[in-house]
């Protein structure tokens, strides 16, 4: 009896990816230290912020443990419900959004009940990933031979799935989060088996549109045109700050200029833990990378990036080991979600990209974004935990 119980325990242990757990734990430790440093200047009780983030991590760990119990078939069945529930939340936040948050940020994307706040677009991300994964798997099962016609049909299905989210996010005035959903969509299209010629044309179209919009944003007449499509003055100000951070260091460009000063002041090895001489507004959320740059310097920043690389590498390895088409698409979506957040947040912190309100995964303060990332980790870990190979055919999963 004892031998059977030990074998069962060993079997469960072998199916848990401790490498991913280690990477997330290291990022969590760095995040908690950074939040403490970021809030100690602005808060009389910085430990309160740290404890709050620990509580979110505890909730996230429970969610990971629950999601790990779902295998591919169960995740397949829940995908539609999660997606439509997310759309309902995105619609409801337009009505019941926090007036105080909207006044300070200009975006109608937060629920607030007392001191508790929640951003529904964050939990929509993993639901969106599941839905796209289901659409691609279903389509490829139905049309096993790829043609130009079937590839355009798949692109149409994916765009139709994405369009309601983009519209609702536009109504919330949250352009940064729209970019995340588009990045997830783009990543999953790349691995969906669509003909490379279509992908090349699509890339060129996106590059032309993006380049044209950026060109318009640098001229008065162009900004007038973009304004008719919903672009706002603060977004143009961010473009100006990105093009020349030193042009306006007192108003619109103050935050990014202080952020870059803080990172630069850390030099190679940093000033040491909790040594912050450069003030950066709202440092604990979008500008958290400045804490790492100032306290731990270039070396510490490289260690952080290496941890992200390790986490993403481990998620890719899990995907290859499980040999499951649906899981492969879901894993790609999760990887793109985390990778885009890292690329955009660090890119804007060092002046490579325009400023957007995108947090640094597992590091920035905030429960909603942390839960979205933890849900993504749970989805990937469920692949290793169940470790089954499925063949999806005729609308059902058959274990091989």
Classify residue 270 by its DSSP letter.
Answer: -
d(CA 270, CA 101): 34
In 3D space, the residue among 368, 373, 355 whose CA is nearest the CA of residue 175 turns out to be 355
Looking at residue 376, its pLDDT comes to: 95
Which string of DSSP letters, residue by residue, matches 345-398? HHHHHTTSS-----PPTTTSS-HHHHHHHHHHHHHHHHHHHH---EEEETTEEE
Enumerate the β-bridge partners of residue 392: 397
Q: Are strands 111-113 and 390-393 parallel, antiparallel or unpaired?
A: unpaired
Phi, psi of 388 (to 5 degrees): -115, 145
Closest CA to 341 of 373, 386, 299, 311: 373
Residues in the chain where the model's pLDDT stays below 50: 8
Query: What integer pLDDT is reported at residue 394 of this predicted model?
Result: 55
The long-range contacts involving 105-109, CB below 8 angstroms and separated by at least 24 positions, are 105/357, 106/173, 106/232, 106/234, 107/172, 107/173, 107/174, 107/357, 108/171, 108/172, 108/173, 109/169, 109/172, 109/173, 109/174, 109/177
CA 315 to chain centre: 15
- Taking all residues of the chain, what is their mean pLDDT, rounded to a whole number? 86
Percent of the chain residues topping a pLDDT of 70: 92
- Contact (Cβ atoms closer than 8 angstroms) between residue 298 and residue 268: yes
Contact 359, 369 (CB under 8 A): yes
Burial of residue 93 (CB within 10 Å: 0-12, 13-18, 19+) is: buried
pLDDT digits (tens, 9 = 90+) for 299-341: 999 999 999 999 999 999 888 887 788 999 999 999 999 999 9
Please give the pLDDT value at position 305.
96
pLDDT in tens, 192-240: 989 989 999 988 998 898 888 888 888 888 888 888 777 777 777 778 7
- Token pair in block for residue 101: 């948050």
Predicted local confidence at residue 395, as pLDDT: 56
Q: 274, 295 in Cβ contact below 8 A?
A: yes
């Amino acid at each position: 009896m004892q031998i059977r119980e030990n074998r069962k325990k060993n079997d469960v242990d072998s199916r848990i990816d401790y490498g991913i757990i280690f990477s997330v734990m290291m990022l969590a430790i760095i995040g908690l230290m950074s939040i403490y440093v970021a809030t100690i200047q602005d808060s009389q009780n910085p430990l309160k912020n740290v404890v709050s983030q620990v509580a979110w991590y505890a909730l996230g760990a429970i969610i990971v443990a629950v999601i790990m119990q779902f295998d591919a078939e169960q995740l397949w069945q829940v995908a539609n419900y999660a997606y439509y529930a997310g759309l309902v939340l995105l619609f409801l936040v337009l009505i019941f959004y926090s007036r105080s948050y909207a006044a300070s940020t200009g975006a109608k994307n937060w629920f607030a009940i007392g001191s508790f706040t929640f951003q529904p677009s964050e939990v929509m991300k993993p639901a969106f990933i599941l839905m796209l994964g289901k659409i691609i798997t279903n389509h490829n099962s139905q049309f096993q031979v790829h043609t130009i016609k079937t590839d355009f049909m798949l692109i149409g299905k994916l765009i139709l799935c994405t369009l309601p989210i983009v519209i609702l996010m536009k109504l919330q005035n949250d352009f940064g989060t729209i970019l995340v959903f588009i990045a997830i969509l783009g990543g999953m299209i790349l691995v969906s088996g669509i003909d490379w010629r279509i992908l090349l044309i699509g890339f060129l179209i996106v590059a032309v549109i993006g380049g044209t919009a950026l060109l318009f944003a640098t001229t008065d007449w162009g900004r007038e045109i973009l304004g008719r499509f919903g672009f706002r003055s603060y977004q143009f100000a961010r473009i100006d700050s990105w093009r020349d951070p030193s042009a306006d260091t007192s108003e619109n460009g103050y935050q990014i200029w202080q952020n870059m000063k803080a990172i630069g002041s850390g030099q190679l090895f940093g000033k040491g833990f909790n040594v912050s001489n450069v003030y950066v507004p709202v440092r604990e959320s979008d500008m958290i990378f400045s804490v790492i740059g100032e306290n731990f310097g270039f070396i510490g920043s490289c260690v952080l990036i290496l941890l992200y690389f390790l986490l993403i590498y481990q998620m890719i390895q899990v995907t290859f080991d499980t040999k499951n088409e649906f899981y492969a698409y879901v894993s790609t979506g999760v990887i793109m979600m985390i990778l885009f957040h890292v690329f955009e947040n660090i890119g804007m912190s060092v002046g490579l990209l325009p400023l957007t309100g995108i947090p640094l995964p597992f590091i920035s303060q905030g429960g909603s974004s942390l839960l979205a990332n933890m849900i993504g980790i749970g989805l990937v870990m469920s692949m290793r935990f169940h470790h089954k190979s499925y063949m999806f055919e005729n609308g059902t999963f058959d274990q091989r």
